[in-house]
Each structure stands twice: as C-alpha cells, then as structure tokens.
Amino acid sequence: MLALTVVPLSAGSAAVSDVPDPVPGDGQLLVEGVTLGVCGTDREIIAGEYGWAPPGRDRLVLGHESLGRVRSAPAGCGFAAGDLVVGIVRRPDPRPCPACAHGEFDMCRNGEYTERGIKELDGYGSELWTVEPGYAVKLDPGLAETGVLLEPTAVVAKAWDQVERVGSRSYFAPQRVLVTGAGPIGLLAALLGVQRGLDVHVLNRTSGGPKARAAAALGATYHSDPVADVAQRLRPDVVIEATGAASVVFDAIAGSGAYGVVCLTGVSSAGRTISVDVGQANRSMVLENDVVVGSVNANPRHYTAAARALAAADPSWLASLITRRVPLRRFAEALEARPDDIKVVLTLAA
Ligand code: BGC
C-alpha cells in the first residue's frame, strides 16, 4: 500500500512510498483510508521542526486528521465493515501519570504520551491503517465527505470544554465570543459558539474570500481590523485564540471583557519577541478576574462532542471548509499555501 512517510527533524524527507500492508493486531480494526487532513503540525513535521519516529525506526507515517471505512472488525467490538471511522490521535503515557490513568491523556503530565502521526506512532496517512476500537470514533454515514474535520473539531470541543469549566468557577453566562483566526480551528470554534447560541465574532487578517463567507454563513460577524480595536469594541466574555501570533495573543488577552476567559489553541513558533506592558496586562487580569488557559489535543469525551457537533452542522457549510482535495501521490501540492485555502485534504482511496 502507499503511505506518506517522513524522517522527523529532517526537512524535505517526506515521500509517498510503497510499504507493507498493516496487519491488525489482536482486537484491532482494519480500516481503508478515505481522506487525511493536513494541518500546521504536519507542515512543521515536514519542515523538519517537530515529530518523533517510532522507536528503532527512521521514518514515521504522517497524518493525524483521519477518516476511513472499516474493512474488517472483530466480532462484538461495536464496529462493523463499512462503518465510517476516525482514529483518535493520542495514547496515554506508559507509566501512566495520574491524568493518563484517568483517561485524560490530553492532559498528560509527564510528556511521555504518544501520538499517531506525530510522536512515536505511525499515523493515518496510508491507504490502510489499523486502530484499537477504544480509540476509534464511529461517524454518522452522512459525514462521508466531511468527517475528516472530526479531529480539529475535537480540538475545539476541548477548548470550549476548558472555557466552560474555567468559567463555571463562579457565575458564568457568556454572551459574546471573539474567535481570532479563521482557519479550520477558528471557523470550527465559531461553529461550536453558534451552536451554543452565542453572539460570535470572527477576526482574521484578510477581508473577503472564503473565510469571510464561511463566517457569515454561520451567522457570525467577521472583522479584519486590528484585534486591539475589535476587542476593545466588543469586550468579549470569551476569546478563542487560533492564530498563535504573538501580538494577536496579547491584544486578545488585553481586550477580553471582565471575568473574561481566553483560550489559547494556536501553537506559535518560538524566537519572535514583541514588547508588551506586562504590568498593564497583570493589572487588568487581576482587577477583572480574567483567565488565560492553554488547550491542546482532545480525549474521547471531546471526540464524542465533536461528532455530535458535526452531525448537527449544515453539511454544505462543512463542505465549504474543505477547499482542496489532492490525491496522496501529489501530497506536495497539498502543502502549498494558497490564499483561498481553508482545509486541504489528501484523498487516500485509490
Ligand atoms: C494535533 C493535536 C496534537 C498536537 C501536538 C495538533 O496538530 O491536532 O492532536 O496533540 O498537534 O502534537
């Protein structure tokens, strides 16, 4: 079968090559890959900046935003041939730490977790893959075209879960949310905000184009003026930050409303410094009881919430987020950043 593999920390090593078909281990599902989403983390791994190969190997099969169809499943495991499934990304650390021992491996304390397609476990970027039923999520058959959005939706379902848990430490009835960034994470965070009945605002550098149209189609208000101005005007109860851009992060923190919860989801590159008035930021956070919370990955609870959110969403809106479908062999085209891209996916089925 064909697989997209890479030598982690070696730029330019990504290649599609023939590798042996996977053999399902005891109790595992054998899945035919349908589509694979490409995200910033994959680009970082391909650029040689991130990623870990499985122990004793040079190459890692890339890909963590999966969608596949079960080819074979052990009897009584809850899955059957033909089911549409997505594989969960992370596995608990082997010790395990207290969070992993409680099934909350997205909150791993010792960093020894593993991740399919990212950290020490082969990913889902192949024509066939295997997965343990406990780490597979069954999708509504209506999501055959767009179910590949489940993993990023699980990431934002976790972000919303964090916001609500942090907010509920006292009276909390948020009304307005500002989402900074209108990539897939930002737009899916906006979808979950709309599904919660909130007044949703989306901010992005560019005006017009498919991102603005996707935000408007949700009923959200789109802004492309500076984040400091937008946040000062809106004083949002919640900010979901999805750019990872240092200046956006600080202006969003400074501009949140009283008792504001700012959830950071964007992984930024280190090494870029900006000048900030920490005294002012501290003062307003203390005087307003603000919280800034970081959020990464997702556990099965978030995947279940995300599957419900996708099933409830307008199918044509979800489809509008997938702006290009590129065959696996031409993966290099999928990596090109084009101005009108939202989510680019690789097609895995022959
Ligand atoms: C993935 C997460 C993962 C994180 C860090 C993200 O792109 O969506 O599941 O935990 O990268 O490796």
- Give nearest CA residue, ligand 1 atom 1: 297
Query: What CATH architecture does domain 154-294 belong to?
Result: 3-Layer(aba) Sandwich (3.40)
Compute the distance between CA of residue 143 and CA of residue 35 in angstroms, rounded to an integer.
12
Q: Tokens 């409830």 — which residue?
A: 312
121 alpha carbon – ligand 1 mean position (Å): 13
Its pTM stands at 0.97
pLDDT at residue 350 above 90? Answer: no
Superfamily of domain 2-138+314-347: Medium-chain alcohol dehydrogenases, catalytic domain (3.90.180.10)
Q: How confident is the model over 189-209, as pLDDT tens digits?
A: 999 999 999 999 999 999 999
- pLDDT-derived band at 269 (thresholds 50, 70, 90) equals confident
Cα(91)–Cα(85) distance, integer angstroms? 17
Going from N- to C-terminal start, the domains of the chain cover 2-138+314-347, 154-294
Measured by CA distance, the residue closest to atom 12 of ligand 1 is: 118
Could you read off the pLDDT of 141-189 as tens digits, one per residue?
Answer: 999 999 999 999 999 999 999 999 999 999 999 999 999 999 999 999 9
Give 75 Cα–ligand 1 centroid separation in angstroms. 32
Phi, psi at 259, each rounded to 5°: 60, 30
Cβ contacts of 76 within 8 Å, gap of 6 or more: none
Diameter over CA atoms, the chain: 61
Residues 6+ apart with CB under 8 A from 134: none
Q: How close is the Cα of 104 to the center of ligand 1, in Å?
A: 15
Q: Give the pocket of ligand 1 (CB within 6 Å).
A: 39, 41, 64, 89-90, 115, 118, 151, 155, 296-297
Contact between residue 330 and residue 16 where contact means Cβ atoms under 8 Å apart = no
Q: What is the mean pLDDT of residues 98-112?
A: 98
For residue 349, the model assigns a pLDDT of: 87
State the distance from the centre of ligand 1 to the C-alpha of 248, rounded, in angstroms: 21
Alpha helices in 57-170 (DSSP H): 98-101, 150-167
Structure tokens at 140: 């509504």
Q: What separation in Å is there between the alpha carbon of 231 and the centre of ligand 1?
A: 28
What atom in ligand 1 is closest to the CA of residue 65?
8
Please determine whether the domains at 2-138+314-347 and 154-294 fall in the same fold group of CATH. no
Out of 44, 268, 297, 343, give the residue to mutate to test ligand 1, the one with the largest number of ligand atoms within 8 Å of its CB: 297
Q: How far apart are CA 131 and CA 144, in angstroms?
A: 19
Containing 176, the helix (H) or strand (E) segment is strand 176-180
CA angle 53/55/56 to nearest 5° reads 100
